[in-house]
């Protein structure tokens, strides 16, 4: 991980760094995020994420917010790892389902899963 961060810093945020990252994107390298940890003990839960989005072995965003509070009161904690764009889309759709089924998190999740399985675009 430190090596990847060093490579990102060497490439930097200037024009050369941007061009390098655009070339990687154009070459088909996929952007993704990783590392979410959840620990539950009794009624307490801790969810943490590393906050890095990588493309190959290069960290392209070291400050991603992978753990979020969602829902009307912010009482639901959601974390994601994997393709960043897909994760944002799923979180938005989950929030919509939570609004459709207030106070019924399980029902909202099942409804989202049904949509996911039936909608070719989502898959």
Q: Which residues are catalytic?
A: 34
Nearest CA among 75, 50, 55 for reference residue 65: 50
Beta carbons of 53 and 33 less than 8 angstroms apart: yes
Pull the structure tokens for residue 89: 């889309």
Backbone angles phi, psi at 117, to 5 degrees: -70, -30
With b for 16 or more beta-carbon neighbours within 10 A and e for fewer, the 14-46 pattern comes to eeebeebbeebeeeebebbbeebeeeeeeeeee
């Amino acid at each position: 991980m430190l090596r990847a961060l060093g490579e990102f810093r060497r490439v930097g945020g200037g024009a050369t760094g941007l061009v390098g990252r655009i070339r990687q994107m154009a070459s088909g390298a996929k952007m993704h995020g990783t590392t979410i940890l959840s620990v539950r003990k009794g009624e307490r839960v801790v969810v943490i994420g590393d906050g890095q989005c990588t493309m190959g072995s290069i960290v392209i965003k070291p400050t991603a917010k992978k753990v979020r509070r969602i829902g009307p009161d912010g009482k639901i904690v959601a974390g994601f790892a994997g393709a960043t764009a897909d994760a944002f889309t799923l979180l938005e759709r989950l929030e919509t389902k939570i609004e459709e089924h207030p106070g019924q998190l399980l029902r909202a999740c099942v409804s989202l899963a049904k949509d996911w399985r039936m909608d070719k675009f989502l898959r």
